[in-house]
A and B are shown apart, each in its own frame.
Chain A
Amino acid sequence: EVQLLESGGGLVQPGGSLRLSCAASGFTFSSHAMSWVRQAPGKGLEWVSAIDDSGAATYYADSVKGRFTISRDDSKNTLYLQMNTLRADDTAVYYCAKDSPLLTHWGQGTLVTVSS
C-alpha cells in the first residue's frame, strides 16, 4: 500500500524558512517522479513543484520559483521541499503526491502558516 507522510509544517514569520519532508513507502520510490501541491485555507488546489525520478529535473510554479527548492533522497525514500523567503500567501496545507504530472497518490498534508 502506498503511504506518503508529510512533516515539517508549522508557524513561521514572514521572510522565514521551513523544510517539509515526505516519507514514502509501499512502492519503489526511486522509480517515480514526485510532486508537491498546496491548498490555502478554504481554497482550491495549486500545483507547486515536481521532481523526476532521477532527481535531475525539477519544476516549479511561477509563484514559488526562486524561493522553493524540491529535492529527494532515494536512500531514505524521502521527498523534500525547502521553502525560503516565505510570505503570508504561502499559508496552506502542503501535500506530497506520487508521480507527475498525474498525481496518483496523495499524503494527508502538513499545514504551513506564515504569520507574524
Chain B
Amino acid sequence: EIVMTQSPATLSVSPGERATLSCRASQSVSSNLAWYQQKPGQAPRLLIYGASTGATGIPARFSGSGSGTEFTLTISSLQSEDFAVYYCQQYNNWPPGTFGQGTKVEIK
C-alpha cells in the first residue's frame, strides 16, 4: 500500500499571503494525485486532480504541481474561507485510494 505523507501538519499563514503544502508518496503515483479541502463541520470537496487540474468551480488561486512522488498545493493569496484542512490522495495504485494525514491551514 502506498503511504502518503503531508507536511507540515499545521501551517500558520496571514490572509493575503501564499501557502505552500507538500505531499510525498512512498512510491511513484505518476500524476494520479488529488487534493481535497475540508472546512470544519463540512464534507471534503475536490480541489485538484491529475496533480494540477482544477476541479469545476475552484478559484484560480489554488494550483497544484508535481509528479512521481513529490507534489505541492499552492494557495497564492489566502482568503478567509481558505482556512481549512487539506488532504492529498493518490489513485494510481487503487484500491485503496490512500490519503495523506492532512495539513491544517490556520490563521496566523
Contact = CB atoms under 8 A, between A and B. Distances in A.
B51 to A, nearest CB: 12
Interface residues of A, number: 21
Interface in A34-84: 37, 44-47, 50, 59-62
Mostly, the B contact residues are loop
A109 B43 contact: yes
A104 B95 contact: no
Contact of B101 (A44, A59, A104): A44
A103 B44 contact: yes
Contacts of A45: 36, 38, 44, 87, 89, 99, 102
A102 B43 contact: no
A50 B99 contact: no
A102 B99 contact: no
A75 to B, nearest CB: 26
Interface string B89-104: 1010011111111100
A47 B99 contact: yes
B10 to A, nearest CB: 14
A29 interface: no
A92 to B, nearest CB: 13
Contacts of B84: none
B34 interface: yes
Number of contact residues on B: which range applies? Answer: 20 to 34
Contacts of A101: 91, 94-95, 97
B48 to A, nearest CB: 10
B98 A47 contact: yes
A81 to B, nearest CB: 15
B96 A102 contact: no
Interface in B15-55: 34, 36, 38, 42-46, 49, 55
Nearest to B95: A59
A45 B98 CA distance: 9
Given A44-B101, A44-B102, A108 B95 contact: no
Interface of B: 34, 36, 38, 42-46, 49, 55, 87, 89, 91, 94-102
Interface of A: 37, 44-47, 50, 59-62, 95, 100-109
